[in-house]
Structure 1
Amino acid sequence: METDKISIWDYTIFPGRNIYSHRPVMKMIVDIGKYGDIPTKDIKGFNEKLIKAFPGLRTNCCGLGYEGGFLEKLKAGTYLGHVLEHVILEMQYMLGYDVRYGKTRLLKEPNVYYLVFEYKNEVCGLECSKAAVFILNSFIRGEDVNIDEFLDYLRRASQDGELGPSTSAIVEEAKKRHIPITRIGHESLVRLGYGRHSRLIESTLTDATSCISADLSSNKQLTKALLSEHKIPVPYGKVVFSEISAVMVANQIGMPVVIKPYDGNQGKGVFLNLKTNEEIKEAYREASKFSNGIIVEKFVKGRDFRILVVGDKVCAVAERLPASVTGDGKHTIKELVDIVNSDENRGESHEKALTKIKLDSVSRNLLRKNGLTEDSIPEPGQVVVLRQNGNLSTGGTAIDCTDIIHPENAQLAVSAAKAIGIDIAGIDVVAEDISKPITETGGAIVEVNTAPGIRMHLYPSVGKPRNVAKDIVDLLFPKEEDYNFPIVSVTGTNGKTTTVRLIHHVLGLCGKTVGMTSTSGTYVGNKCICRGDNSGPISAKTLLSNKEIDAAVLETARGGIVRGGLGYDLADVGVITNITGDHIGLDGINTLEDLAFVKSLVVEAVKENGAAVLNAEDSMTPKILKRVKVRPILFYKDEEPTQVTRTVDCVKVFTKNGTIKIKDGAKTLDVIDVSDIPITCGGLIECNIENSLAAVSALYALGVPIPVISDGLKSFDDNKGRFNLYKLNGFRVMLDYGHNPAGYRQVIKTCKKLGYNRLIGVIGMPGDRQDSAMRTVGEMCAEAFTRIIIKEDEDLRGRKRGEVAGIFYDAIIKKGFDRNAVTIIEKESDALRAAVEEARSGDLIVMLYEKLEPLQEYLESLGAKNAFPLAVQEKKTFELLA
């Protein structure tokens, strides 16, 4: 039923590279109700309200290449889905995000659309899309909307989705080195890099800091005790749990004193230079809001310095000045605070270089102590201090002092960080002069902070900015090889699993622990850590977070690309084995060109110095090459397809006279004789020759030495579930995962080379393939097999039980196949059992399976032996017998 409003149906978030863009995008499905064929110019007052609310839309190009293009379309007549896309992008732009990419397409006649739009802040993108729908629905009803109120809300919501300033600075520095960034959740926790050398960081807290060290640093009294053991000067003090105790300790120590929570942060509840019992009681009451235990310690006179220690060196020093305003004889303190806060460099929290000053109970108490209120008008030049601490989080400012710190003070700071066990530490020092040793001037280290903020060093109010983010990334990744993590991504219609297995095996011979995702599972080295079809982006992300691996080989399936994009940023090598008509009709893929476009993402998302491996004999390769921006490596068998290989500057990997060769410029290298590669069955299995060529291409691109490639191909003989041949009571059984016409064609071709008395096929296909593909396979089987048993997959993939089998049966019979020689046995294991029970000597049974393990277990229970390594000898023996 059509409605009179826009309704949101669904969202998909693509945080990484995807088929729509190499930048993060969201896909939103909307129903625009009865407005499917009504342009907005025909909705009374709509266009006028739209442009009034969003005047920036006047300059949108809208694909026409010049400003005002969207306005032209709006006046001529455009539709709500298209307008919604532009409003979502415009709202993000108004909030400070430079987003440009958008796309709107009709999904279902006449009113269901999908919109794809770029985002930089996920929370902002989601909230803007929801707000845009609400606003446009209001315009449809003829209602006005206060856009400023929406923007204020969206601005606050967006701040929650931003990385903190410290994390953001580190992430930007990591990006300069092309270190992959993975954000975990919506806080400031990120993973830098992949695999063994990947690091977790949140603000400036790294995964190298232990929980004990972090707890120690937040317990100020324990921190002081440890520092004292290392002869590091700290102020004397005690922990108290009542007002009376606080007064008693203060009088015992001698005034003035400092009161602060023993486990606080950001200067909350800290009171300095307390000189009377009443001040101590009041400070205790405020400090106890943040902690049960309160420290009373000797007040150290001096200026407040923050020393940033990264690893074993001091990287920056800043003097921190408390929040203050300077009188002009005209404005009240409250008005002066508003003037200071109007500075565009001040934000509500940590999102900008400085934080806005807040007039709260702490600042009002301090004013009252000095005989002032927020309504007082200070004299011209009079400095009014509003906080006792200099933390930026409470509105303070900073002066860079890095160049003047005394070396002895720097060494004390490093020693303090090491004593607590923190790799990145903020050391708070009170001293009259940081350029003189505090051991001589009476200064002291008053705190050691885990996860210190670095805004004051990046953006000091006075002095030289210090790129401490670079120092932190240097600490996390001291060597380039620590973040240079090799990735090979393999896609295509057929041969993906075998190709990734080959590459995985050879890289393992290089002394690396190699991770692999595939349709058969996820592997770390040779250990399967997760069984099942793991060829999607989630599996890739999971593997890349594994701290055991040094490299990764990823099988990257079409479905995962369409529904979730890539699970990594950039690969060193992208491989496309081939493109055939599998999956056409699914997920909006209606042609071979559509399928090629989707799979092209794998060779587009490659590092600048990487390589794209393509099948020179595939009809889609010329189209894909137009999208490739890196070095192409083209592979082919025997005859060079000159129309492709001679039109591009490429490396060629090919077979000639039974040998795999590489031609790279002027040099030609011999790699291995095809007959020495076990999975080719002495050259009988042509598709595995192609898979070997693809693997050699990828390995050569990675710089693997030729002898290692050769040894690896020779030693790989366990291609589980692919052309697995078993010998049993005078006949043989082959198990393979052929699941489309191209796969069946290769299986049948191989069987003919192996020889047989009768060829028995146990056949089926996944239910999400097109009827035409099933009919093609059925006809192919009718021509090739002597006896056919049709089975069905357990997962029907949207089909009714018996539907797939029925399509196969009809196609086979229409081809003239003997009705008495074709049977439907829906359960896969029962179908194989029936074929085995009726097999005769010399027969070859071919089983195109859905689930491998139960079938293998059944054959092994009958005493079947793996005949795969003997396949060539088996063929020769059979020919002699024949």
Structure 2
Amino acid sequence: MSKKSIEIVNVLFLNGPNIWTYRPVLEAWVDIGELEDSPSNTIPGFYERLTGLLPSLIEHRCSIGERGGFLQRLREGTWPAHIMEHVMIELQNQAGMQTGFGKARETPTRGMYKVAVRARYEAVSRVALVKARDLVMAAIEGRPFDVPAAVEELRDILDRVSLGPSTACIVEAATERGIPFLRLNDGNLVQLGHGARSRRIWTAETDRTSAIAESISSDKDLTKSLLGSCGVPVPEGRVVNSPEDAWEAAEEIGIPVVVKPSDGNHGRGVSIDLKTRAEVEAAYRLAQEEGSEVIVENFISGNEHRLLVVGGKVVAAARGQEAWVTGDGVATITQLIDSQINTDPRRGTTEEFPLNLVLIDEDPAVRLEIARQGYEPDSVPPAGTQVLIQRNGNVAFDVTDLVHPDVAAAAVLAARVTGLDIAGVDLVAEDISRPLEEQGGAIVEVNAGPGLLMHLKPADGPARPVGRAIVDHLFPQQDNGRIPVVGVTGSHGTTMVARLTARLMELNGAAVGLACSDGLYLRQRRVEQNDAANWAAAHRILINRALDAAVLENGYRSILAEGLAYDRCQVGIVTGIAADATLPDLHVNDAEQMEKVARTQVDVVLPEGTAVLNAADARVAAMASLCDGSVVFYGMTPELPALDQHCAGGGRAVFVRDGQIVLASGKDEAVLVGLAVLPPEARSDQVTENILAAVGAAWALGVDTDLIRAGISTFVYGDAC
């Protein structure tokens, strides 16, 4: 670079645990060129310009560890790559994508840095990276930069790519319970757990939500018929096929009535408390625009309520509230709506707001409601006159603690009758704390895939842990949705170790998915013959619900460029770090740096899991102290210092003594098998060492020693070398 500028040379999205952190990050290679000679304290006015653009940077603690820590670093002098890291974090935070983690590190190339920032959504972080670079350069050069416009652009991208609030709250609850998740599309289809123990959700629908139940609930007339036959109180009514038929039905039932679409949702096209033929016929036309059929039923007096039923329990309830305006003799109804209703901070156009804006030009139901009172949108009501604007659509006021047990039982029965495991049950009642029968209340709808926002961010009252309720419904308390995952990395022998470990697990009865440099294997059958020691192949294994165990080889290059495909593993194996191990194209130039790559595999071992480590490699052996779980060392001799010390402390190890493979737990030892009985190709030191690693993994997983002995004695080593 021949001028003072910042160039983004390369960008990697690490979609899983990596050398930086346990979470996905965006890693950018940033060349600051001649700015290497211009730390922040040498650029006149830079501090003032940057903090003027982003005053909220005062909240960044940086390495100082206290509020204002990053600003202290700015005053003392720091470099543009580090500044970009903090600006990128702050832009993402202001856009609503909370980010706390960031690192900036020099590479051996002068002026070249690696900048890594937590990236919940790759698309947002990629744009935030460029915006951060542009903002820093603007502050350096004294040019203006439109921060609000940049934040708004990021927010728009976030709205497009992020999980919806209902799905996000379920994922968050799963994460709190240690259940992993995998996003399966660009929308809200998410897998909780791995392999055969996983469950899938799509917003508030689950893989237990049957298509039949969903079809029943979408047909309001059929739903009402089924509920009524089971003793659930429902309003009387029928399907109609014309405005005239709607009025005939109203006369049969008796006014007032409700007119609504048979398969609508979210209250669209619903008109209530209709008393005249003109109102009924106008309501018919409105309902017809929203659904395939129209229903007329008797009007139930009271407040609209939504009860959320999950797994046979009512876990949350919300009440609706009518929306009114009061005339002042000057403003039109449209103006009164804007000044008296839409100014409520709880109202907005996105899912983050518990109440919707009332947009009279876009809501025919509102126009119909005010027309029934003799007004038009541009009418000016007399001072003090109240005008009803909206009867339904504001169900966001928490009443969970008020629900009468009989009302809850009726809602649970309604969900069971329709067959829904998760249901939004709509009912009308004057008082939710009294049984429906004694007040003439009724259940009017049962909805599949109910929205959860009204319970997460109610307009009034406490938020309810509905995401946790759904997760608990899908996973019993002792189930974390995990299958045994074995991760293998190292400079040598990893493919053989992975294949042999998979074979031993298969002998133990597991349906194993194996992704290694030899290919992709499903239950011993190779389905792809290519290098599958990468994130994509591992991901395919983890989403395969026919598999109840996974063995995944992770090359150093894959860890650096992609991250791991799993958050944690039951067993993590490290076979060794070659003295000449380097990846210069990824700025890893010696074994010491490679050690940081290899330890990623140890960092993700579960507390109840095991790291299987080569005791003959000092760098690998030193990783034992980093493991959250237990450790099994392996080596060609029991005299290896790390192995000997480990056993002296009661630890487990696998080693060779006098031509026999020995399993040791502290001072207790058991001979597994003599090397002489293994196939000839298994007797070289390198192959034997690989066998020890696989034996250690199988032992850690609880595979019976007889099966381990049979497996290593019959394995075809020539094919795996």
TM range (shorter): 0.7 to 0.9
Question: Compared with structure 1, are the counterparts of its residues 180 and 323 closer, same or farther at alpha carbon in structure 2 (3 Å cutoff)?
Answer: farther
Contact 2:501 2:697 in 1 (8 A): yes
Distance in 2, matches of 1:670 and 1:273, equals 84
Map residues 419-438 of structure 1 onto 2, 5 A cutoff.
419-434=417-432, 438=436
After superposition, the C-alpha distances for 1:58-111 in whole angstroms (9 at most, x for unaligned) are 454443445545434434554433322221112223345543332334669666
Shift of 1:691: 1.4
Question: Compared with structure 1, are the counterparts of its residues 39 and 642 closer, same or farther at alpha carbon in structure 2 (3 Å cutoff)?
Answer: closer
| Alignment coverage as a number of residue pairs | 708
Name the stretch that deviates more: 568-577 or 583-592: 583-592
Shift of 1:338: 4.7
Match of 1:588 in 2: 587
Match of 2:151 in 1: 151
After superposition, the C-alpha distances for 1:383-434 in whole angstroms (9 at most, x for unaligned) are 8754222444xxx42322565131xx54443343333332111121223455
Question: Compared with structure 1, are the counterparts of its residues 65 and 320 closer, same or farther at alpha carbon in structure 2 (3 Å cutoff)?
Answer: closer
* Larger relative contact order (CA 8 Å, sep ≥ 6): 2
After superposition, the C-alpha distances for 1:266-303 in whole angstroms (9 at most, x for unaligned) are 11222111112232343344434433533333222233
Contact 2:95 2:152 in 1 (8 A): no
Question: Compared with structure 1, are the counterparts of its residues 51 and 399 closer, same or farther at alpha carbon in structure 2 (3 Å cutoff)?
Answer: same
Match of 1:445 in 2: 443
Match of 2:321 in 1: 322
Identical columns (%): 34
Question: Compared with structure 1, are the counterparts of its residues 35 and 599 closer, same or farther at alpha carbon in structure 2 (3 Å cutoff)?
Answer: same
AA paired with 1:83?
I
Distance in 1, matches of 2:198 and 2:304, equals 36
AA paired with 1:449?
N
Question: Compared with structure 1, are the counterparts of its residues 328 and 40 closer, same or farther at alpha carbon in structure 2 (3 Å cutoff)?
Answer: farther
2:587 aligns to what SS in structure 1? coil
2:492 aligns to what SS in structure 1? coil
Question: Compared with structure 1, are the counterparts of its residues 307 and 30 closer, same or farther at alpha carbon in structure 2 (3 Å cutoff)?
Answer: same
After superposition, the C-alpha distances for 1:555-584 in whole angstroms (9 at most, x for unaligned) are 111121111000111001100112213454
Match of 1:662 in 2: 663
Match of 2:237 in 1: 237
Question: Compared with structure 1, are the counterparts of its residues 150 and 366 closer, same or farther at alpha carbon in structure 2 (3 Å cutoff)?
Answer: farther
Match of 1:188 in 2: 188
AA paired with 1:399?
V
Shift of 1:45: 4.8
Contact 1:124 1:157 in 2 (8 A): yes
After superposition, the C-alpha distances for 1:159-178 in whole angstroms (9 at most, x for unaligned) are 44443332222222212321
Distance in 2, matches of 1:295 and 1:720, equals 72
User: In the alignment, which of 323, 338, 344 is matched to residue 340 of structure 1?
Assistant: 344
AA paired with 1:500?
A
Contact 1:596 1:624 in 2 (8 A): no
- Does residue 615 (structure 1) correspond to residue 618 (structure 2)? The answer is no
Distance in 1, matches of 2:43 and 2:640, equals 58
User: In the alignment, which of 543, 560, 563 is matched to residue 561 of structure 2?
Assistant: 563
Match of 1:677 in 2: 678
Distance in 2, matches of 1:189 and 1:697, equals 37
Map residues 281-680 of structure 1 onto 2, 5 A cutoff.
281-311=281-311, 313-316=312-315, 318-322=317-321, 324=323, 334-341=338-345, 348-351=349-352, 354-361=354-361, 362=363, 363=366, 365-367=368-370, 369-370=372-373, 386-392=389-395, 396-401=396-401, 403-406=403-406, 409-434=407-432, 438=436, 441-458=439-456, 466-478=464-476, 480-481=478-479, 483-580=481-578, 581-642=580-641, 645-646=644-645, 649=649, 650-678=651-679
Distance in 2, matches of 1:222 and 1:88, equals 53
Contact 2:429 2:440 in 1 (8 A): yes
1:264 aligns to what SS in structure 2? coil
Question: Compared with structure 1, are the counterparts of its residues 301 and 57 closer, same or farther at alpha carbon in structure 2 (3 Å cutoff)?
Answer: closer
Distance in 2, matches of 1:3 and 1:257, equals 76
Contact 2:325 2:341 in 1 (8 A): no
Shift of 1:365: 4.9
Distance in 2, matches of 1:701 and 1:622, equals 17
**Looking at CA atoms only, which structure, 1 or 2, has the larger radius of gyration?**
1
Unaligned runs of 5+ in 1: 723-735, 737-882
2:399 aligns to what SS in structure 1? strand
After superposition, the C-alpha distances for 1:571-628 in whole angstroms (9 at most, x for unaligned) are 0110011221345434222111122211110111111121111111113224433533
Contact 1:597 1:624 in 2 (8 A): no
Distance in 1, matches of 2:27 and 2:62, equals 18
Distance in 2, matches of 1:246 and 1:590, equals 79
Shift of 1:8: 4.5
Map residues 677-826 of structure 1 onto 2, 5 A cutoff.
677-678=678-679, 681=681, 684-714=683-713, 716-719=714-717, 721-722=719-720, 736=721
Shift of 1:200: 0.9
Match of 1:13 in 2: 13
Distance in 1, matches of 2:710 and 2:383, equals 84
Question: Compared with structure 1, are the counterparts of its residues 368 and 127 closer, same or farther at alpha carbon in structure 2 (3 Å cutoff)?
Answer: farther
Question: Compared with structure 1, are the counterparts of its residues 232 and 45 closer, same or farther at alpha carbon in structure 2 (3 Å cutoff)?
Answer: same
Match of 1:221 in 2: 221
Distance in 2, matches of 1:70 and 1:440, equals 64
Match of 1:104 in 2: 104
Shift of 1:670: 2.7
- Does residue 74 (structure 1) correspond to residue 101 (structure 2)? The answer is no
Name the stretch that deviates more: 536-545 or 179-188: 179-188
Name the stretch that deviates more: 421-430 or 6-15: 6-15
Contact 2:41 2:77 in 1 (8 A): yes
Unaligned runs of 5+ in 2: none
Distance in 2, matches of 1:224 and 1:184, equals 35
Contact 1:220 1:262 in 2 (8 A): yes
Contact 2:97 2:158 in 1 (8 A): no
Distance in 1, matches of 2:358 and 2:292, equals 25
Contact 1:241 1:292 in 2 (8 A): no
Contact 2:402 2:432 in 1 (8 A): no
Shift of 1:34: 6.5
Distance in 1, matches of 2:660 and 2:388, equals 82
Question: Compared with structure 1, are the counterparts of its residues 464 and 137 closer, same or farther at alpha carbon in structure 2 (3 Å cutoff)?
Answer: closer
After superposition, the C-alpha distances for 1:654-702 in whole angstroms (9 at most, x for unaligned) are 1112222222234323322223333x64x63222211121112112222
Name the Cα RMSD after superposition: 3.4
Shift of 1:548: 0.9
Shift of 1:636: 1.0
Give the structure-2-normalised TM-score: 0.88
Distance in 2, matches of 1:7 and 1:636, equals 47
Question: Compared with structure 1, are the counterparts of its residues 163 and 402 closer, same or farther at alpha carbon in structure 2 (3 Å cutoff)?
Answer: farther
2:626 aligns to what SS in structure 1? coil
AA paired with 1:50?
L
Contact 1:257 1:273 in 2 (8 A): yes
Contact 1:333 1:376 in 2 (8 A): no
Contact 2:307 2:316 in 1 (8 A): yes
